[in-house]
Amino acid sequence: MKRLILFLAFVAPLLLSAQTNKRVFSPQKNVMLEFSLDAKGNPGYRVAFAGIFAIENSSLGFTTKETDLSGGFRFVSAAITSHDETWKPVMGEVDHIRDQHNELLVRLINKDEYRMDIRFRVFNDGVGFRYEFPKDEGHNTLTFTDEKTAFQMGGDHTAWWIPGDYNSNEHVYTTSKISEINTDPYNQAEVAISAQHIVDKTNVQTPLTMRMADGKHISIAEAALVDFAAMHLQADVKNLRFKAFLIPSPDPAVKSINTLPFHTPWRAILLSEDAAGILNSKLILNLNDPSKLDDVSWIHPTKYVGIWWEMHVGNGTWDYAGGQDMSSATGRAPHGKHSANTANTKKYIDFAAKYGFDGVLVEGWNTGWEDWFGKWKDEVFSFTTPYPDYDIDELTRYAKEKGVKIIMHHETSAAVPSYERQMDDAYAYMKKYNMDAVKTGYVGQIIPRGEWHDGQWMVNHYVRVADRTAKNHIMLDAHEPVRPSGLGRTYPNWVACEAARGNEFNAWSRGNPPEHETILPFNRLLGGPMDYTPGIFETRMSTYKADKTEVVHTTVAKQLALYVTMYSPLAMAADLPENYEKRLDVFQFIRDVPLDYSESRVINASIGDYITYARREKGKDNWYIGSITDENPRHFDVKLDFLKAGKTYEATIYADGPGAHWKDNPYPVSITKKTVRKGDTLALDLAAGGGCAIEIK
C-alpha cells in the first residue's frame, strides 16, 4: 500500500494542468482510479494497480451527431459511495459472489448543455465505468458516431487476441505483443471463416487479456452490453494504446442511436497479479444488473446429447430433401441421410435415458435446411414445421415416458426479423411439446442486411430473445451471437452461448490448436459460459471417411477435463452414442461430472499453456479436478489442501494413458482409483495436448 501512495505522490505533478481531479480507491486500496478534466474540458482517467499505472492517462467520451461529448465539459459534481453485497447466482462456478467496490460518480455538462455522467466502480480486481446520459428538457436522442474511450498501456504486453470481426468470434487466437497486432492473416482464404468481416488490421475483440512483463495481467472487457454496439478495440501499435471501436450500423457513420435517459454498457478493466486472478474475477458479473426474473425454479443444469456431431462428421445431414453435409453444404442429390428422423431421435432418447442425461438436442428437425447456407435469404426456416420424417407428437410422448427433455433448435441463418416474427409461435410450440431449452443459431450474414452480429440492432435482438424466452420459462443457449458480457446474471435463463470457436471446427477445418482451450477461459469465458460441446472420444475423422485428415487436437482425457476447466451449466456429450458405448469406463466421468458448484479454485494457470481447476459440487463435498495443457506435456503436483480435514475420499483419476499424444495417440486413458485425504498430493502427467480429469468423493 505504501508503495502505491508514494508512487501517486510522485506522479501527481503531471496532472497539475487539470481543471479537476477525482480519485477513488478499491476497498483494499490496491487499485486507484483517477478521473481528470483538463483545462479544455476534456475528460480523462488513469488506473493504478499494485504500484504501477495499469492504464496511463487516457481519454474518455464520444462524438455524436447532436453534440460533442469528448471535450468542452464543465465539472458539475462528484460523489463517492461504497458498496458491499453478496449475491447468489442461480447456477455457476461458485454459490455466492461478493460485490465490494467504491464508486465515483462524476457529473459533467458540455457547452450545448448536454449532461454526461461517468460512473466508476473500483474493485479489488479492477475497474468498471460507464457513461450515463440523463433525461433533460430539449435533449431526447444521441446518435453516437465514435467512442473516444482509450486504454493507454504502460508497456508492450503479450496479448491473446482474435481479430475485430464484425460478424464472428469463431477465430483461432493469436499470441503477440501489442506492437505486433496484425489481423491480415485472418483474411487469407485458407483461414477465413464464413461471413467474416475484418476491415481493420489492428482491430481486435474484447475481452482482450494481456500479460505484462512482470507477470501482472490486465483484461479490457465489456459488461452488460444492452442497446449499444459491441466494443472492439482499435490498437495503436506504435503508442501501445487501445481505443474503443463500436461496431457500426448499416450506415458506417452511425454506431448507436439511443433515447435519453440512457447509459452505455460498462467498460471493464480486470487487474491481477497473475493469470489465475483473471479466472477468479467476478467483476464482469458484478457490473451486470441482478436477475430480472422473480421465479428461477425452472432453471436447471442440463447435460445433454444430441443429433449434431453425426452431421459434422458427415454421417448424416440437417436437411431432408438434399444432401447437405459439412462437405457439400448446398448439394441436392437424394441421399436418405436425414439425421433428425423419428427412429434416430428415439435412439438418442434411449441413450440419454439409459445414462442419465437431461436432454437430447435435435438439429435439422424443421423445414428450411435445403438451401439456407451462405445465401443471405429471408424467410428460410419455419420454427413450427417438422420435416415429414420427424414425428414430433410421438417423440414428445416417448421422451416424456423416458424422462428426457428434447432440446429445441432454432437456426435462423441470421434472418432475424423472420425469426422475430415467428418467435411467439415458436416458443408456444416448444411449450406445447414440453421443451424448456432452445439452442439458437445465427450462421451467416445478418438480415436486416447491412447489420452486423455485433451491432446495436443485433445486440438488442439477443437481449430480446433472452427476455422472451424467460417469459416463456425457456432456457437459452445462443450460438453465433456477440460474445457475452455477463448478462446471464440478469437473465439467468440465458445459460450459455457459443460466441467463440467451438469443438466442431475440429471436424471439418484446420481445427482448434491444442492451446485453444487454455486461452478461452481468459477472455471469451469472462462474459459467461460457453457451449463448447466437448466429449469427443473418436477424434480422428478418417474413422468416418477414409480420405479425411482432420483430427480433434486433444487427447480423450483432455476431452474429459474440459468439462471442468470450461465451466458451463449446459454441457453436451457431443460424440456419437456408439462411441461412448465402446468406452463406458471413460464415459463414466462425463456422466458423473456436475454442472453446478459451490466453490472453484484455480490450482494453476498460464494463458495459452495450461489450466488446472478444482471445483466442489454444489452443496456437496465432492470435488472435481480438471487439468489441461497445450501442445506441451506437463507434470503437475496438485496438493489437496481444499479437502476437509480428517475425512477420507475416493479419487477416480482419468489420466492420459501410456504414450498418449493428441496427434499420434489420442485414445489411451488410464483410469485409477485412490484413497486421498486433505494435504495429499496428486501427481498429474499430462500428455502433449492432453489433460486429466479427477473425481474425488
Nearer to a second copy by Cβ, of 83 and 432: the residue is: 432
Nearer to a second copy by Cβ, of 227 and 592: the residue is: 227
Nearer to a second copy by Cβ, of 214 and 425: the residue is: 425
Proportion of the chain in helix, strand, coil states, percent, rounded to 5? 20, 35, 45
Q: What is the DSSP annotation of 622-669?
A: -EEEEEEESSS-EEEEEE-TTSPTT--EEEEEEEE-TT-BTTTB---E
Beta bridge partners of 210: 159, 218
Contact of 502 with 169, CB cutoff 8 Å: no
Nearer to a second copy by Cβ, of 456 and 555: the residue is: 456
Set of cell numbers at residue 79: 460523489
CB of 417 to a second copy, least distance (A): 5
Distance CA 435, CA 454 (A): 29
Widest Cα–Cα separation across the chain: 77
Residues of the shown chain interacting with a second copy in the complex, contacts defined by CB under 8 A? 137-138, 140-141, 143, 249-251, 254, 257-259, 330, 332, 370-371, 375-380, 416-417, 420-421, 423-424, 447-451, 457, 460, 464
CB of 163 to a second copy, least distance (A): 22
CB of 445 to a second copy, least distance (A): 9
Q: Residues 327-335: contacts with CB within 8 Å, 24+ apart?
A: 327/508, 329/373, 329/374, 330/371, 330/373, 330/374, 332/370
DSSP 338: B
Nearer to a second copy by Cβ, of 261 and 403: the residue is: 261
Catalytic residue among 504, 517, 538, 617: 504
Angle between helices 584-592 and 556-565 (to 10 degrees): 10
Please report how many Cα atoms fall inside a 13 Å half-sphere around the Cα of residue 294, on the Cβ side. Answer: 1
Burial of 647: CB neighbours in 10 Å, binned 0-12, 13-18, 19+: exposed
Set of cell numbers at residue 670: 488410464
Contact of 213 with 153, CB cutoff 8 Å: no
Nearer to a second copy by Cβ, of 415 and 638: the residue is: 415
Nearer to a second copy by Cβ, of 141 and 681: the residue is: 141
Q: How far is CA 659 from the centre of its chain?
A: 33
Contact of 406 with 396, CB cutoff 8 Å: yes
Element containing residue 560 per DSSP (H, E): helix 556-565
Set of cell numbers at residue 486: 455477463
Contact of 85 with 71, CB cutoff 8 Å: no
> Which residues have CB under 8 Å from 336's CB, separation 6+?
none
CB of 413 to a second copy, least distance (A): 12
Radius of gyration of the chain (CA): 25
Instruction: Judge whether 504 counts as a catalytic residue.
Output: yes
- Are β-strands 266-272 and 634-639 bridged in parallel, bridged antiparallel, or unpaired? unpaired
- Are β-strands 437-441 and 475-479 bridged in parallel, bridged antiparallel, or unpaired? parallel
Nearer to a second copy by Cβ, of 417 and 659: the residue is: 417
CB of 142 to a second copy, least distance (A): 10
Bond from prior residue into 448 cis (ω within 30 degrees of 0): yes
DSSP 457: H
Nearer to a second copy by Cβ, of 3 and 332: the residue is: 332
Set of cell numbers at residue 231: 466494443
Distance CA 454, CA 134 (A): 25
User: Which amino acid, one-letter code, is at 451?
Assistant: E
CB of 462 to a second copy, least distance (A): 14
Nearer to a second copy by Cβ, of 43 and 368: the residue is: 368
User: Which amino acid, one-letter code, is at 574?
Assistant: A
Task: Enumerate the active-site residues.
Answer: 504
